[in-house]
């Protein structure tokens, strides 16, 4: 856990998609200290006219290299840690030719009772998995 959704504009090679997913995961492992095998990602490509991402009034333009990342994770991380996640992801994506203006990241938090990893069971709530940060 976390669950990560990566949305991008269609047209990248499979190895590029994997590199983006790997870079995102590497940033989360480094910053959030999650285990390497704690990896749940969904990578979705969209036609260019199905993605609208302006600049929220910040004065920059995005390109077709845009990567939008949604991170679903348990509550409890500080603002400073979240900002570190944002920076680390941007830094990991830069060597892949993705500029900072094309990195959009959002973090959604919820509780340990909101997760089931299989078999219809809430493993954190049942004590089958340790709750991160506790």
Q: Is 2 a catalytic residue?
A: yes
- Helix, strand, or coil (residue 3): strand
Tell me the C-alpha distance between 118 and 133, whole Å. 22
Spatial strand order of the sheet with 40-46 comes to 40-46, 3-9, 67-74, 103-110
Tell me the C-alpha distance between 40 and 28, whole Å. 11
Query: Alpha-carbon torsion 27, 28, 33, 34, what sign?
Result: negative
Choose the catalytic residue: 2, 14, 130, 132.
2
Active site residues: 2
């Amino acid at each position: 856990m976390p669950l990560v959704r990566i949305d991008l504009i269609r047209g990248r090679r499979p190895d590029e998609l994997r590199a983006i997913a790997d870079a995102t995961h590497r940033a989360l492992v480094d910053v959030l200290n999650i285990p390497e095998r704690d990896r749940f990602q969904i990578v979705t490509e969209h036609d260019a006219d199905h993605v609208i991402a302006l600049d929220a009034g910040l004065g920059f333009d995005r390109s077709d290299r845009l990567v939008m990342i949604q991170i679903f994770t348990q509550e409890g991380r500080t603002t400073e840690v979240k900002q570190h996640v944002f920076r680390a992801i941007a830094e990991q994506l830069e060597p892949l030719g993705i500029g900072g203006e094309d990195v959009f990241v959002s973090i959604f938090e919820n509780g340990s009772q909101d997760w089931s990893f299989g078999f219809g069971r809430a493993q954190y709530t049942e004590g089958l998995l340790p709750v991160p940060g506790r």
